[in-house]
Structures are given as structure tokens and as C-alpha cells.
Amino acid sequence: MGFPADRPRRLRRTAALRSLVRETRIQPSDLILPLFAVGGRGVRKPIGSMPGVAQLSVDLIVEETKAARAAGVRSVILFGIPDHKDAQGTGAWDPNGPVCTAFRAIKDATPDVVAIADVCLCEYTDHGHCGPLARDARGQVTVANDQTLPLLARAAVAYAQAGADVVAPSDMMDGRVAAIRKGLDEHGLSETAILSYAVKYASAFYGPFREAAESAPKEGDRRGYQMDPANVREARREALLDVQEGADMLMVKPALPYLDVIAEVRRLSDLPLAAYNVSGEYAMLKAAAGNGWIDERRALLEILTGIKRAGADLILTYSAVDAARSLSDLA
């Protein structure tokens, strides 16, 4: 029996051969670890829907950052849970709040770690939306877009002054990248980079995060400003607008249901592209692994490889440290 000259299986025979010809590779430095900062000291408040994840006080944020750095993860992104919330989200730019305090501590302890600040008001408002509220013509609650922009810029400036290398607006207000760039430049912070959540969908996969960040809306929902999951042409428009406004990097969120969108944004722009492997995706993996239905390590690395293969340069994942350690074991 004859065989074709091209026999791909020859290159799959051993682990060494498979590694030699592997097309998509993940490095620990490709991963970004999200952390939730709260006030106090020695505080570790586990998140029930996210096994292994907790709200942490600044001293423990520093320890987690050190552990991540030791594993090869060189970037963290911080979300803050303030002691006090109000209608404007004023705690977002408090220089003594948990996020600003954590950035100063991280930079003192691990100066070579890339410190990224999520810029949004939902964790800081008493209503759980991403900016001050208004009513539309039908009386429905909505976020006042133009009133929100200077508040986002103010928060971004506070984080950069505290030591953030990158600010990452996640609110999905129109014009926020330009407003933040202007605010940073006016305060002598022109070297601070902007990682825009350019394409953020109104997803069902954010539920565990809202527990972690204590940010569930008390009225209405976020579908009026986050993107419709059915749309991809709109994703192209959103990404291009943020590029024009001065974004240095782009992000697609969530990751797994939107691999096609990641690929589309990758084709559209040469800017570094991040994807957020979000809380619901993490929770599903943990639940399946906890029930013995899947091999967690293999499934995790397969998920991250798929996100990378779709076109992401960087991946935000709550499994960053576990993945980095697994990659080191396989090296």
C-alpha cells in the first residue's frame, strides 16, 4: 500500500518532536494576573464562586505579586473595593484608597512588575454602574456618558501618580480613551500607557467577578453601554475608534465565546492585543475540575493556547500563576 509523501504524523511521534514544531507558544510573561484590593491588613476574603481567588489587603497583594513574579508572571491588574461608595464613585481616585496604596507598595517591593490599573467606576458607585446615572427619554436608567469621562480621567491620573505603568479603561463610555490620554498628558504622565477594553461585551460570564468586586448593578443592567454579543462589525468600529483616540493596546473581553472577534481585531490592528479569560470562564473550569470531569491543568493550557492562537498577545487570567507553573514544569 502506498502512502503520500507528506505524513504529518511523523512530527507528532514524541513530546520532543511536538515541541520542536509547535506553532503557538505561551510564555508566563504573556499572562496578566487580576487582583482585588481592599483596605485593612491581613485580610483575605475568599470569593465563593471563584475557588482560589480572594479579596486581599495591600500587604497580601504584595505577597501575591511576589509569588506571581517568582513564577514568571510579570504583570498584574488591580481592581479596588472601597470602604465607602457613592453616586459618583469618588473612591476611585482616592490617593489613600486600596488601589493607589497597593500600587505604591507593589512598586516598592517589585519594581520590575508591570502594574496595570483597571479604570472604571462600577466598584466605587453605590448603584453599581460604570458612571453617574441619568434617565433617558423613556425614564430608564442610563449612565451619563459625558459626565463620566472627566471622572475616569481623574481616576486614571491618580493610579498613574501612584505608580501604575498602564491604565485600562473598562467602562465602555464613548470618548474615554481620548479623555484619559488628555488627562494624563496634562499631568505630565504622557509615558503612561493605555490598554483599552476596546471590545467589551454585555456577557453572562461576568457573574463571579461582580461578587468579587461587589459591583452588581442595583437597577437595570449594562447592556445599554456594553456590546451586544451578536455583533462583530461593531467590534471593528470600537477598536478603530480607540486606536484613533490614542490607545496603546487593545483588549477583547470575554475571551472564549469571542475567539472570532479576537482574530478579527488582530487582523485590524498591529497594536498589542489582550484578551480577558473572565471570571465565568474560570469558574466553569474550576467546577468541572472539582467534579473530576476534566484534567484542570491540561484544559487550562488548552484554553490559553486557543486564546493565543486566535491572535491575543496577552491574556488576563485568574489562573495566571497556575498556568505559569505548569508551563515551567513542561519546559
**CA distance to 30, 73, 74, 213, 322, per residue, from 327 (Å):** 12, 11, 15, 29, 9
- Contact between residue 220 and residue 155 where contact means Cβ atoms under 8 Å apart: no
Q: Where are the beta strands (DSSP E) in 219-321?
A: 249-253, 273-277, 314-317
| b (16+ CB within 10 A) / e for 153-191 | bbbbbbbbbbbbbbbbbbbbbeebbbbbbebbeebebee
DSSP for residue 130: S
85, 200, 286, 308: which one is catalytic? 200
DSSP assignment of 12-47, as one string? Answer: GSSHHHHHHT-S----GGGEEEEEEEESSSS-EEE-
85, 253, 286, 308: which one is catalytic? 253
Is 85 a catalytic site residue?
no
Over its C-alpha atoms, the chain yields an Rg (Å, rounded) of 20
Cell numbers for 65, please give them: 505579586
- Contact between residue 278 and residue 254 where contact means Cβ atoms under 8 Å apart: yes
Is 200 a catalytic site residue?
yes
Strand partners, 199: 252
Angle 228-256-270 (CA atoms, 0-180°, nearest 5)? 80
Q: Which positions are catalytic?
A: 200, 253
